[in-house]
A and B are shown apart, each in its own frame.
Chain A
Amino acid sequence: MNGGKQGALAAAGLAAFLLIWEAVPRFGLASPFFVPPPSDLPLTFWRELSGGYWGAAVGDSLGHYLMGLAIGTSLGVALGVATALSRRLECLLSWVVRLLRPVPGLAWVPFAIIWFGISERAATFIIVIGVLWINYYAAFAAARAVDRDFLELADAFGQGGHWSKLVKIILPGASGGILAGVRTGLGQAWMAVVAAEMFGIHGVGQRMMQASSLLATDVVLVYMVTIAALFGLTDALFVLIRDRVLAWQR
């Protein structure tokens, strides 16, 4: 199959999906409350947008998202690289990591609320937990896999200091794996944003909860599509940046 054919087939799949979705409420197979037809969404979106709800919710969610992502990613990468470089640290943390790692971000919600209240910081905390371990493991594996011969090269050419080795060998050598982890985290963080905001912190998640309690399922859908679009956008932007950073790879 060539590229044009693949694109046409993908568009046809999406069109069929939307048609069936539209048909289900239109032909009375399900109530429009349960399955709002997609043709209603543009109007609903316009109402949310012109009322200022959409902009405010997305703005706040983006704030939580970027803050949580930045903290969680840097913390995870730093910890992962440090653990990869120090056997001692690896041993020290191994059981702590095994204990904390399987606890899902959502399970921290009660503590987030007790520690930070219903606040932006609580949402940020949930997102940090949501992306921390992905980045930790990705960075750990990537830094561990850096060719040890490059470290000998650094020693042989007067770049044997810890800082030189970290900045000139380990980090660039691990950058591919680290960025793969960051990218996974980009998606995880959106899930965490919605989950965290459902507990009353202002943003997209809270708006969805409000709408669903009023059975305004079309509004819920508008925000579902919004999240998908935001994720698509952040991912596309990230890929652009990543491809520049990793231009040296084949």
Chain B
Amino acid sequence: MATVVDIRNLTIAYGNGPPVLSGFSATLPEHSFTCVVGSSGVGKSTLLRVIAELVPPAGGEVVVPDRGHDDTSRPFALVFQEPRLLPWRRVIDNVAFGLEGMALSHQQRLSRATDALALVGLAEHAGRWPHQLSGGQRQRVNLARALAVRPRLLLLDEPFSALDAITRHALQGELLRLARETGTSFLFVTHDLDEAVFLADRVIVLGGRPARVTRDFAVTMPHPRQRDDSGFVDHVRDLRVALSELLVDGGGI
């Protein structure tokens, strides 16, 4: 399958400080769902920002073989940890935000934003202000804004961490539906092991100081995955053990 992004030997540091993450390599193919797991401070969020070209890496490179040939999509789109909706824009205009720099007519922008909003099930909320939405709905708009630019890779920065368990589980299920329907690849950062095993077909574990890739394994269970299934529970336990070993070995906290 075609490669969406090839991350080669990436090093991440804050300012001129020592690296927090080094030697990170991963090739993400089309239609893939990858979760990156690690405790706080291993540079997970920054990793996404480096891939999105918002922050330069301290070393290594991010290669995008095919950036698309027109100006109506973006290779990457970021889903932030908090909704980060512009409060002075109605929901539909928040979703259209990333389309405004593109070679699209007003009508095309509106129809793409409407489609994206329908994908996350909020079509009837288009005319609302962000403050009129619930936390889960805002996070859906955050997601729709990223989907609207038709990215080849969606970068998600713990987007469900602030939601209650019921809403979180509902959105996780929807995310898998979106992955099927849109054909976009997902790179999902989280510290929630259960979430990683539920969503991903590949889990990359970061640990140590500076952090490195310590585990990189495929999750082959079919969807929809059941959280009380023994295979699921085993996977989560393995991950927890892997991470706690890291904390002991690496003195990482």
Contacts and interface: CB of A to CB of B under 8 A. Distances in A.
Interface stretch (B13-21, B94-102, B160-168): B94-102
Nearest to A248: B88
A159 B74 CA distance: 12
B101 A172 contact: no
B88 A172 contact: yes
Contacts of B52: 156
A155 B56 CA distance: 13
A169 B97 CA distance: 11
Interface in B91-136: 97-98, 100-102, 129, 131
A156 B54 contact: yes
B189 interface: no
A164 B80 contact: no
Contacts of B171: none
B87 A249 contact: yes
The DSSP consensus for interface residues of chain A is helix
Contacts of A3: none
A207 B244 CA distance: 84
Given A172-B86, A248-B88, A157 B131 contact: no
Contact of B129 (A157, A169, A248): A248
A175 B86 CA distance: 13
B101 A164 contact: yes
Contacts of A157: 74, 77-78, 97-98, 101, 145, 149
Contacts of B129: 247-248
B8 interface: no
**Residue with the greatest number of chain B CB neighbours at <10 A, chosen from A149, A150, A158, A173:** A158
A241 interface: no
A64 to B, nearest CB: 33
Contacts of A92: none
B88 A158 contact: no
A150 B82 CA distance: 11
Contacts of A169: 86
A40 interface: no
A153 B145 CA distance: 11
A156 B102 contact: no
Nearest to B98: A157
B177 interface: no
The DSSP consensus for interface residues of chain B is loop
Interface string A115-131: 00000000000000000
A138 B74 CA distance: 38
B88 A175 contact: yes
A250 B74 CA distance: 33
Interface string A164-187: 100011001101000000000000
Interface string A53-66: 00000000000000
Given A152-B54, A153-B80, A248-B129, A158 B98 contact: yes
Interface string A237-250: 00000000001111
A40 B58 CA distance: 81
A158 B71 CA distance: 11
Nearest to B94: A153
Nearest to B149: A157
Nearest to A157: B98
A250 B88 contact: no
Given A159-B97, A159-B100, A153 B74 contact: no
B86 A158 contact: no
A173 B88 contact: yes
B84 A149 contact: yes
Contacts of A173: 86, 88
Contacts of B102: 158
Contacts of A155: 54
B195 to A, nearest CB: 23
Interface of B: 52, 54, 74, 77-78, 80, 82, 84, 86-90, 97-98, 100-102, 129, 131, 145, 149
Given A150-B84, A153-B97, A155-B54, 6 more contacts: A152-B54, A156-B77, A156-B78, A157-B145, A168-B100, A173-B86
6 contacts: A158-B74, A158-B102, A164-B100, A173-B86, A173-B88, A248-B90
Closest 7 CB pairs of A and B: A157-B98, A158-B101, A172-B88, A248-B88, A156-B78, A248-B129, A153-B84
